[in-house]
Amino acid sequence: MEDRAKRIFGNEMSAQDYRKAEKSKQRFIRKFGDDTQAEYPVTLRENACLGPVMGVQDIIVGGPEQTAAEQSAEATAEQSVKRSAEQPAGTPLQFDREKGIIVGNIRMGFGHYRISMAIASAAHALGYQPYWMDLNSYPETTCTKVISSQNDLYSMGSRISQRSKAFNKVVWEPMNYEGFRKLSYNASDQKNAELMAPVFRNIPKEIPLVGTHVWPAQAALHGGMKAVVNAIPDNWPMALHLSEGALHTVQTYNAYFGYRTLNGMRGKEILKPMPSDSLIYTGHYIDHELVSNIEEDCGRRVSRAREGAPRRYLLTIGGAGAQKEIFGAIVEKLMPKLKQKKAALLINIGDYRGVWDEYLSRIPLVEKLSKTYFNDWNGTRKFCEQACAKDDLYGIHVFCHENIFEAVYATNLLMRCCDVIVTKPSELSFYPVPKLFIQHIGGHERWGAIHAAEIGDGTIECEDIPHTLQMLDLIDSDNAVLQMLCDNIVRNKQTGVYDGAYRVVEAAFARRAALC
């Protein structure tokens, strides 16, 4: 197999960059071992949270050791998917080699899981069988050990960047904006991904795979998978996301031209472009449940605004609870209306229970106005169903789930019944719900807000608390702003902007037909 760290889309890497990439791989081998010859058993299990919604089955690689997420999933036994008559109890699940599609991902924050859910949802809606393969959930493998160590390092950097303006300016912003953009960074990633290949040894090679992070796409190719699609998440082109040998998909035309020319990935040097058959524009990666209900949900938002119903704001706090100061200021700003039952706050704190305790210590009155849904998945789903159907929602409603699937998918459910989502311009930049953007984390994210503002379904990025509160006032007091955002979302749907997940799935099966 061609060494993908030596040449990237025909662009030769320097001897120095290649040695650096090889050294990176060797460091991981010394630290975590090399399981290239290992034989890991593969089993399938119905996903307790996503199975009932979109038929997802988890791919389990390795022995009986479980991650916290898997243990949590099994703890919610009442949510388990019932086997069909064709799959009697006790019979192992088998790969569907005709209709099956693997969604390869990693747990790194919530973003890549959310995009994976969108791909799985679209696959299910199109009649395919989605399989969930989280490369960061197989603790006995070198693959997971390598990913976890890098994930921990990234999470630490993200937390430090929120506490230290100097670190953010000198280290974090440049790394996320220009460091990950360099072609040499991709060379190192390709070498490291060779260590992840063993988890694919016993996976049927002809089943198409969509990677919602570049590492699963790279690892799948090193592991012999034949039809691989690399679903690129960001609107800022970075070599970090390249996986030569896969079909690359992007959500915007800005990303298309940036990737096609490998723009700026080796300074000002003009590089050989990506071949035309290695990159396509698809539109936004959005769940079928959200796309199919856009007109209905936006119609309800506009109707509530006209009738003077309390405005509903959804706050999403993922990761380690970053940007708590901004959210705290928003809660304090809305407090008079919350007390008067003229506003509603829906707060998803993901799987970080401690974030809520910090809010209570800062704003004691919050607790009196709040109803909590902690590890209550049935209660969360019931709340969302009822909230979509009524107009008199008010107060503060807080959601927290230890199960990572529930923690992430809760935001998807809440998006349908909110009026505005308040979020940093991450993967949520692309979702069909009116958005108020707060300060980004990592320079690459700012391009998500730029794109949303240009297609009219989100605000510009508010880079500090005063500007955030100004925009909040504008949305809260002027129904025409919400009307405009909703009209644009409906118009965007009509032109196919939000159909990216369907197109990714279709492209994956077309690639299999062409290659297998």
Per-residue pLDDT tens over the stretch 393-424:
999 999 999 999 999 999 999 999 999 999 99
What whole-number distance in Å separates Cα of residue 319 and Cα of residue 350?
8
Burial 233-255 (b: 16+ CB within 10 A, else e): bbbbbbbbbbbbbbbbbbbbebb
> What is the average pLDDT score of the chain?
90
Domain residue limits, the chain? 14-68+91-286+499-516, 291-494
**Lowest-confidence region among 111-115, 248-252, 272-276, 359-363:** 359-363
Helix axes 500-515, 111-125, angle to 10 degrees: 70
Q: Which residues contact 422 (CB under 8 A, 6 or more apart)?
A: 313, 314, 315, 316, 327, 330, 435, 436, 438, 472
For 211, the 3-state DSSP assignment is strand
**Averaged pLDDT for residues 286-290:** 98
pLDDT band at 193 (very low <50, low <70, confident <90, very high): very high
Predicted local confidence at residue 63, as pLDDT: 67
**Lowest-confidence region among 71-85, 98-112, 190-204, 323-337:** 71-85
Predicted local confidence at residue 351, as pLDDT: 84
What whole-number distance in Å separates Cα of residue 446 and Cα of residue 354?
28
% the chain with pLDDT above 90: 76
**Which tokens go with 120?**
């799985």
State the CATH architecture for 291-494: 3-Layer(aba) Sandwich (3.40)
**Predicted TM-score (pTM) of this structure:** 0.92
% the chain with pLDDT above 70: 93
Predicted local confidence at residue 174, as pLDDT: 78
pLDDT band at 172 (very low <50, low <70, confident <90, very high): confident
pLDDT band at 362 (very low <50, low <70, confident <90, very high): confident
**Lowest-confidence region among 60-74, 143-157, 300-314, 423-437:** 60-74
What whole-number distance in Å separates Cα of residue 114 and Cα of residue 203?
23
Sign of CA dihedral 346, 320, 194, 59: negative
* CATH 3.40.720, domain 14-68+91-286+499-516, yes or no: no
Predicted local confidence at residue 171, as pLDDT: 78
**Averaged pLDDT for residues 255-280:** 97
Q: Mapped to the 3 state alphabet, what secondary structure does 351-375 carry?
A: CCHHHHHHHHHHCCHHHHCEEEEEC
**Averaged pLDDT for residues 279-301:** 98
Burial 329-363 (b: 16+ CB within 10 A, else e): bbbebbbebbeeeebbbbbbbbbbeebbeebeeee
Do the domains 291-494 and 14-68+91-286+499-516 match in fold?
yes
Q: Is the pLDDT of residue 82 over 50?
A: no
**Averaged pLDDT for residues 361-385:** 90
- 136 versus 325: which is more confidently predicted? 136
Would you give the end-to-end CA distance of the chain in angstroms?
18
Predicted local confidence at residue 227, as pLDDT: 98
